[in-house]
Structure 1
Amino acid sequence: MSEDDGAPRGDAGTGGVHAHTSGSGARETRDERPEFRSYYGRPVLKPPVWKWEVPAYLFTGGLSAGSALLAAGADLTGRPALRRAGRLGGFGALLASTGLLIADLGRPERFHHMLRVAKPSSPMSVGTWILVAYGPGSGLAAAAEMLPASLRASLPGRLLSRAARPAGLSAAAFAPPLAAYTAVLLSQSAVPAWHDARRHLPFLFTGSAAAAAAGLGMLTVPPAEAGPARRLGAIGAAAEVVTARLVEHRPGLVPRAYTTGRAGRLRRASECLTLAGALATVSVARRSRPAAAAAGLALLAGSALQRFGTFEAGVASTKDPAYVVVPQRARLDAADAGREAP
């Protein structure tokens, strides 16, 4: 993932893009949406070149972070089955996330090269170091869960078992920034849909991560021990749905990218699945294992579709010059009005 993706190709001002109405010489009316096109039909912004690995990376990273938090809580409250599911699920999602990131970078050594520097002003650099700080605790806690019973009484087994709780708590400490940093990474790009939603995306991603982790817990743990997962699922689903609606109902043109086209379809499906999963979570999931599993699958699928829909909204907003020019003109008009005011 490169922070330069989505950078402007050239001037996005009125000189670089033309607005056309339906009639020659016709004046633009309030109800008409002008058609914008750039010179030679080229987009004002360079569309992101990322493929499916990136939204999948966004999902698995959030799933890992939420699972680490859930596992730490289960460990402290004496729920071994939920603790095991959270630790193993979190580490498995971390491995998948790392693999997807390396696949997107193209060559494994590029991930290593990012560790040569620490740049606080770069979300990508900060996120890389968060991932590095989070990984050892997650891996050590998962290793303790996979330790064969025959080795638990040995000296290495005892040492690993004793280190499991501190390791799990270490992973949980870095889990919130791990869940949110990808939202910061997207919103600090020049992609209009992502940058315009920069105040909401971190809350959307953390709510989605919580819902996904809770879904995994309900899918793999008996209902009698999955109470914390159900509560986290209800809270995460509410945060995800409410924040998604806030993203869609901001003033201006840019929110249209989230409600139309492929992005709109993915996000509507996400909302339906998340709401259905949340409803089952607070009702039948506490009494029925099949219902709990179905609710967990719905929350997982809703979280994944939310990431893919957000990604598609960003791509769509770079392909239509209106998403760049209309907000820019609105800011210029507002500045002119401020200068003209007595």
Structure 2
Amino acid sequence: MRIAVDAMGGDNAPKAIVEGVMLAQQDFPEIEFILYGKEAEIKKYVTNEKNLTIVHTDEKIASDDEPVKAIRRKKTASMVLAAQAVKNGEADAIFSAGNTGALLAAGLFIVGRIKNIERPGLMSTLPVIGNPEGGFDMLDLGANADNKPEHLVQYGVLGSFYAQKVRGISTPKVGLLNNGTEETKGSEVTKKAFELLTEEKSINFIGNVEARDLLSGVADVVVTDGFTGNAVLKSIEGTALNMMGLLKTSILAEGVKGKLGALLLKKALKGMKNEMDYSKHGGAVLFGLKAPVVKTHGATGPEAVRYTIRQIHTMLETNVVGQLVTHFEEDSKDE
């Protein structure tokens, strides 16, 4: 099991990335890590060299680089070399906290998509309130701004596969994000997608779901177009951050009484914060490619890196991508 790591991607690279890899080594000593980036900087944070290789390069893709141009022009960038290693069979998966658009481009143009999957989707596991160990998988979260109804059906199949194989849900409930639960609601795209999802026998489609119900666990998998998905994701993130900020401000405004109350509720408040932290489920997967391509937030810390490597380990252990390839190849033969 070999994971190619873009050690220079992210706001806190390479420190946070390498420290996260060191933590993951404790959990999975069998994983071989290949770290791409500036060797001298990476070595500062390496505490265990077992099953670890550093491939030196001075070039990296910056957060403000134009994604496709960067992938094509920066041939020796850490992210490009990591993706190339997966394509060449030198690694089984790639992980990065760098430029999201560039990683999507590297996944599509270097790693390559699975045959018969038209638009791989960006998918994350998001939290369900009241169920810290639960969550729901949502895609597309921004890989594609525009989608056809057929793409949303493929997202349903992709998400269902992931929920079954990686998260262990035997019969995942798949919902279509819409502005109402009635099947007549929505745009022409969602109406047609509803019809096609209903006909798709390989998934447990439960119908339309509304955004207000997502965090209550209405579905295990939620499918939508990339524009809407990205907007919903950022709304959830923004609401969570602002609510925690508002709570802190309100407590401080109460002076000594507020601080005393916060002290008494410290454990409960910490639990609430942890419940809304979806990084424990790992990173965002560009699902539908020939190998796992996984992205974490640019400001990620070592623990989030550790969770993401745990996620990749499960994906490789369950061979979810291999099973996905078989599924879509068999569908093609049946047709």
Q: Given the two structures, how large is their TM-score scaled by the length of structure 1? A: 0.26
- The structure showing larger relative contact order (alpha-carbon pairs under 8 Å, at least 6 residues apart) is 2
Structure number having the greater helix percentage: 1
Structure number having the greater strand percentage: 2
Bigger radius of gyration: 1
Q: Given the two structures, how large is their TM-score scaled by the length of structure 2? A: 0.27
